[in-house]
Amino acid sequence: MELLLKSSKRPQLKLSDAAKGEIREMAYVIAEPCIGTKDTACVDACPVDCIHPKKDEAGHADSEQLFIDPVECIDCGACVPVCPVSAIYAGDDLPEKWAEFQQKASDHFGR
């Protein structure tokens, strides 16, 4: 798993990790098409378990969408092609109209 796509030359969105005083990269963001869908194909495809809430986790029924933990995500992109509603975007490819979903993910994980 060390072959991270960090070698790609695309810039990364940054996200503060206040608990550690560090800046974290926002590699992928789940946007508006996931709302109400919450298909978990992306959860199954993720090799590091960074997409939450899973079906068996508290809060799954109450959450309107899934979120990618920017600290746990290794930027592999395995989730993108399996999303049936095309809701997952690389941070730098996130459409402007869904820019607030970056903050929603950050808020979900308390970062």
pLDDT in tens, 36-86: 999 999 999 999 999 999 999 998 999 999 999 999 999 999 999 999 999
Q: How far apart are CA 89 and CA 99, in angstroms?
A: 11
Asked if residue 13 has pLDDT above 70, the reply is: no
Residue found under tokens 């970062």? 111
Question: In percent, how much of the chain has pLDDT > 90?
Answer: 66
Extended strands (E) in 27-101 = 28-30, 51-52, 67-68, 88-90
CATH number of 30-108: 3.30.70.20
Least confident of 1-10, 21-30, 61-70: 1-10
pTM across the whole model = 0.77
Rounded average pLDDT over 75-101: 96
Residues 6+ apart with CB under 8 A from 35: 64, 65
How many CA atoms does the CB half-sphere of 95 hold within 13 Å? 9
Q: What is the pLDDT of residue 3?
A: 33
Q: How far apart are CA 15 and CA 1, in angstroms?
A: 22
Contact indicator for 27, 80 with CB cutoff of 8 Å: no
